[in-house]
Amino acid sequence: MFILELTYTAPLDRVDAALSDHVAWLEQGYAAGHFIASGRKDPRDGGVIIAAGIDRATAEKLTAEDPFVREGVCEYRITEFVATKTAPALAEYREQLPS
């Protein structure tokens, strides 16, 4: 599982100009089953996406394809973790620690 943390690198007017393309990109990630949650940070200096069922190479490829990255308005920090405990509604995403 991955935490994909976006940090804006441009003024919000430039972020907002790319927002509809970013939202369309998010929808593709949800449709493909890669994303399970996303949203803006508060204060609005970036966002967070939780991704599951992918490997690091895919996480890196996905973030590179984000219109926010292509437009030069954000950078990503990718954090991988093993979700050994979840809420019952997320049980399908539970993972085992490697042996």
- Is residue 76 pLDDT above 90, yes or no? yes
Q: What pLDDT does 99 receive?
A: 80
Q: What pLDDT does 12 receive?
A: 97
Question: In this predicted model, what pLDDT tens digit does every residue of 10-66 receive, in sequence order?
Answer: 999 999 999 999 999 999 999 999 999 999 999 999 999 999 999 999 999 999 999
The pTM of this model reads 0.94
- Is residue 98 pLDDT above 90, yes or no? no
Output the six-digit token pair for 25.
């990109």
Sheet of strand 35-40: strand arrangement: 35-40, 46-51, 2-8, 74-80
Q: Which is nearest to 6 in space by CA: 54, 55, 56, 64? A: 64
The structure tokens 């003024």 sit at 11
